[in-house]
């Protein structure tokens, strides 16, 4: 008999529910909340309200798509954190209600571990040991993964996340929110003409706030001389900013791969959709003999399939959560 897990993800602004049967994802449906675009960033109160509206229709759609009834499920996996407290509470409240009414056990999942596990969803799966670069709107981490549940954080950002840097700099350039995908598209049309800082910190950590300030100061100076500076140079500005971010990410990844002699490399999180990053990593792959895995885009950005995947492995180990478990807005991988 196959094990069927329902996964629920509501940690930020994506409401997502998935059904997994053993290692196959039968359905993974994500509603990305559009309301935040007009505010230029995620508004936490709106995020929780929109999750609340989404849960029941999402659940119905996922069960219909997967062809599975609630009574065939074995457990409910739900994101415990990190994330926005209100958003987490909506998903957890929904999961607990479902658990109480059906008797299904609950499995609490760390969202960051789930991003790493997105590398094991589609074929060919990445093999252990591997190094995972998780790059999202909220997190930037380098993680050594020796086995399922055996994760060591080797480096992380000390300020902004890589996706946050894309989004904040996108805002400075007048791009819609979230800026990352827009900046990526325009960068493909431009050249690296402007030199922005490429920060390299000790201990394999990252810092992106210096880049953001450097771009701000550079734009202010040039806009004084030419009010059309941004519109006349937009593609090249995007290419130059993107190049700095990619260099910062790849420099630490190369160092760690050499230090630990690990050539299995996974890239997870929303920023792994970035075309420039994919091209650079694919170039490095040849010269450094890397075996590289990028999950499908639907598993890169926040999704419930990755939550169900962690749930599946925890189910095999009988790692269930008590009904009174709490949401954790901060939940480092070290504390799993």
301 binds, among Zn ion, ligand KG4, none (CB under 5 to 8 A by kind): ligand KG4
241 binding ligand KG4? (CB under 6 A): no
82 binds, among ligand KG4, Zn ion, none (CB under 5 to 8 A by kind): none
Which H or E element spans position 145? strand 140-147
Q: Binding string to Zn ion for residues 183 to 222, with x set by CB under 5 A, is what?
A: ----------------------------------------
> Of 247-276, which residues contact ligand KG4 (CB under 6 A)?
269-271, 273-274
66 binds, among ligand KG4, Zn ion, none (CB under 5 to 8 A by kind): none
How far is residue 99's CA from residue 283's CA, in Å, rounded to a whole number? 47
How far is residue 133's CA from residue 252's CA, in Å, rounded to a whole number? 10
For residues 194 and 154, the answer to whether their CB atoms sit within 8 Å is no
304 binds, among ligand KG4, Zn ion, none (CB under 5 to 8 A by kind): none
**Closer residue to Zn ion (CB): 136 or 157:** 136
For residues 115 and 123, the answer to whether their CB atoms sit within 8 Å is no
Q: What is the largest CA-CA distance in the chain?
A: 70
Tokens of 195: 């030199």
**Closer residue to ligand KG4 (CB): 36 or 204:** 36
For residues 164 and 137, the answer to whether their CB atoms sit within 8 Å is yes
Considering only residues 81, 180, 295, 311, which one is a binding residue for ligand KG4 as defined by CB under 6 A? Answer: 180
10 binding Zn ion? (CB under 5 A): no
> Of 126-185, which residues contact Zn ion (CB under 5 A)?
136
> Of 2-41, which residues contact ligand KG4 (CB under 6 A)?
12
Total chain residues near Zn ion (CB under 5 A): 2
Provide, rounded to whole angstroms, the least separation between the CB of residue 249 and Zn ion.
16
155 binding ligand KG4? (CB under 6 A): no
Provide, rounded to whole angstroms, the least separation between the CB of residue 111 and Zn ion.
6
> Of 37-96, which residues contact Zn ion (CB under 5 A)?
none
138 binding ligand KG4? (CB under 6 A): yes
How far is residue 333's CA from residue 155's CA, in Å, rounded to a whole number? 12
Residues 6+ apart with CB under 8 A from 64: none
With tokens 């690990």, the residue in question is 262
Residues 6+ apart with CB under 8 A from 123: none
- The conformation of residue 188, written as its DSSP 8-state character, comes to T
> Of 289-328, which residues contact Zn ion (CB under 5 A)?
302
DSSP assignment of 223-292, as one string?
Answer: HHH-TTHHHHHHHHHHHHHHHHHHHHHHHHHHHHHHHHT--EEEEESGGGG-HHHHHHHHHHHHHHT-EE
Provide, rounded to whole angstroms, the least separation between the CB of residue 176 and Zn ion.
20
Residues that bind Zn ion (CB under 5 A): 136, 302
Residues that bind ligand KG4 (CB under 6 A): 12, 136-138, 163, 166-167, 178-181, 184, 269-271, 273-274, 301-302
């Amino acid at each position: 008999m196959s094990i069927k897990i329902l996964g629920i993800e509501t940690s930020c602004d994506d409401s997502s529910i998935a059904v997994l049967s053993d290692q196959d994802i039968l359905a993974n449906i994500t509603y990305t909340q559009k309301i935040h675009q007009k505010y230029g960033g995620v508004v936490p109160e709106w995020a929780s309200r929109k999750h609340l509206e989404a849960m029941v229709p999402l659940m119905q759609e996922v069960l219909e798509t997967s062809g599975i009834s609630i009574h065939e499920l074995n457990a409910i996996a739900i994101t415990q954190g990190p994330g926005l407290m209100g958003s987490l509470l909506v998903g957890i409240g929904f999961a607990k209600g479902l658990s109480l009414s059906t008797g299904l056990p609950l499995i609490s999942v760390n969202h960051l571990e789930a991003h790493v596990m997105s590398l094991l969803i589609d074929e060919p799966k990445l093999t252990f040991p591997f190094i995972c670069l998780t790059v999202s709107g909220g997190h930037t981490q380098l993680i050594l993964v020796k086995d399922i549940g055996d994760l060591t954080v080797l480096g992380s950002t000390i300020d902004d996340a890589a996706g946050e840097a894309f989004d904040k700099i996108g805002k400075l350039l007048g791009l819609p929110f979230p800026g990352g995908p827009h900046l990526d598209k325009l960068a493909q049309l431009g050249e690296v003409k402007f030199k922005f800082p490429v920060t390299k910190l000790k201990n394999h950590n990252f810092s992106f706030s210096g880049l953001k300030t450097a771009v701000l100061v550079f734009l202010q100076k040039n806009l004084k001389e030419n009010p059309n500076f941004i519109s006349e140079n937009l593609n090249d500005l995007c290419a130059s900013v993107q190049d700095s971010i990619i260099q910062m990410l790849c420099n630490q990844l190369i160092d760690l791969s050499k230090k630990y002699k690990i050539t299995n490399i996974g890239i997870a999180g929303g920023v792994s959709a970035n075309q420039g990053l994919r091209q650079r990593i694919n170039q490095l792959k040849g010269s450094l003999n890397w075996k590289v895995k990028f999950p499908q885009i639907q598993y890169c950005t926040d999704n419930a399939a990755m939550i169900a995947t962690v749930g599946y492995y925890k189910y095999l180990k009988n790692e269930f959560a008590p009904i009174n478990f709490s949401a954790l807005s901060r939940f480092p991988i070290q504390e799993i």
